[in-house]
Amino acid sequence: MGRPGRRWLLSCITGFAFAFLWLADPTTSPNNLQVLRKFAFQVSWTTKEILYRLDVGWPNRPEHFTGTTFCVAIDSLSGLVYVAQRGNNIPKVLVFTEDGYFLRSWNYTVDTPHGIFAASTLHEQSVWITDVGSVLGTPGKKGTGLTPLQFDNPAELYVDDTGDIYIVDGDGGLNNRLIKLSQDFMILWLHGERGTGPAKFNIPHSVTVDSAGRVWVADRGNKRIQVFDKDTGEWLGAWNNCFTEEGPSSVRFTPDGKYVIVAQLNLSRVLLVAAPPVGSIGNCSVINTIQLADQVLPHLLDVSGKTGAIYVAEIGAKQVQKYVPVEGYFPSFTHS
Ligand X SMILES: *[C@@H]1O[C@H](CO)[C@@H](O)[C@H](O)[C@H]1NC(C)=O
Sites of contact with ligand X (CB under 6 A):
89-91, 105-107, 220, 246-247, 249, 265-266, 282-283
Q: Cα(210)–Cα(164) distance, rounded to whole angstroms?
A: 14
Name every residue whose Cβ is closer than 8 Å to that of residue 75 and which is 6 or more positions away in sequence.
81, 82, 118, 120, 125, 127
CB nearer to ligand X: give 76 or 176. 176
Q: How far is the CB of 224 from ligand X (least distance, A)?
A: 13
Task: Return the SS3 of 313.
Answer: strand
> Is the bond into 170 cis (omega within 30 degrees of 0)?
yes
**Residues 298/284, Cβ–Cβ less than 8 Å:** no
**Minimal distance, residue 130 CB to ligand X, in Å:** 17
Nearer to ligand X, 47 or 283 (CB): 283
> Can you tell me the distance from the alpha carbon of 160 to that of 164, in angstroms, rounded to the nearest whole number?
6
Cβ proximity to ligand X, 144 vs 283, nearer residue: 283
CB of 165: closest distance to ligand X in angstroms? 25
| Residue with Cβ nearer ligand X (29 or 266) | 266
CA 93 to chain centre: 14
Cα gap 100→10, rounded to integer Å:
28
Q: How does DSSP classify residue 279?
A: S
The least distance separating ligand X from the CB of residue 264, rounded to whole angstroms, comes to 7
Chain-centroid distance of CA 319 in Å reads 15
* Closest approach of ligand X to the CB of residue 248, in Å: 9
C-alpha closest to that of 311 among 118, 120, 107, 30: 118
| Cα gap 36→59, rounded to integer Å | 9
Give whichever of 220 and 230 is closer to ligand X, judged by the CB atom: 220
C-beta of 280: minimal distance to ligand X in Å? 6
Kindly tell me which of 217 and 324 has the beta carbon lying closer to ligand X.
Answer: 217
